[in-house]
Chain A
Amino acid sequence: GDSVTQMEGPVTLSEEAFLTINCTYTATGYPSLFWYVQYPGEGLQLLLKATKADDKGSNKGFEATYRKETTSFHLEKGSVQVSDSAVYFCALGTYNQGGKLIFGQGTELSVKP
């Protein structure tokens, strides 16, 4: 079945470091791909999305490119801030699963000053 795999956390970086969180997926059909972020004590919120191959989603300095050939949707940011500390979830959505979103296991990011 469809699935999403993220890199294990926690990831600890210093402020202004470069961030990559890997995400790969398995899906039949043509899924949409998402990154959601969960700040401490809050619900998830959409960070960015891409709906077809080679699309690049971007928001708040974060980017991810939908790579069909490598079935990947890695999240990157050039210079992280302490305020980026959160849990990041990669997710895929297809009609194959009755319209539900399938989440990866989440990657916790901690940014130190």
Chain B
Amino acid sequence: DTAVSQTPKYLVTQMGNDKSIKCEQNLGHDTMYWYKQDSKKFLKIMFSYNNKELIINETVPNRFSPKSPDKAHLNLHINSLELGDSAVYFCASSSGTGAYSPLHFGNGTRLTVT
């Protein structure tokens, strides 16, 4: 059973489009995250939710909007896609705050904006 699953695995789209990435975890964790990994492998946190409540919101353009319908799901919607949004997006979860509890990552969604 996949612990943290993301869909789709690959997403190719044109500038200006709107797209969503879905994430689900079956670990019973309370906290979920979205990370962005650029082409140099640098990882940057975007958002974190704890029990459906937003607790971390880094400096991310308003075009990115997370939504957590329940504590097992955290989706990411991106409006008006730009070339610079091309990256690999990782969903992750943890049983407590990621500062002390290990993060469990999905396998990523590779977004390519043309």
Contacts and interface: CB of A to CB of B under 8 A. Distances in A.
Interface of A: 31-32, 34, 36, 38, 41-46, 49, 51, 87, 89, 93-95, 97-101, 103, 105-106, 108
B102 A106 contact: no
A106 B55 contact: no
A46 B92 CA distance: 12
A17 to B, nearest CB: 22
- B contact face: mostly helix, strand, loop, or mixed: loop
Contacts of A97: 99
B98 A43 contact: no
A49 B99 CA distance: 11
Interface residues of B, number: 22
A7 to B, nearest CB: 14
A97 B99 CA distance: 8
Contacts, number: 65
Given A43-B4, A98-B56, A99-B56, A32 B41 contact: no
Given A97-B99, A98-B55, A100-B98, A43 B41 contact: no
B66 interface: no
A46 B48 CA distance: 18
Contacts of B43: 44, 89, 103, 106
A31 B40 CA distance: 26
Contacts of A36: 103
Interface in B33-51: 40-43, 45, 48
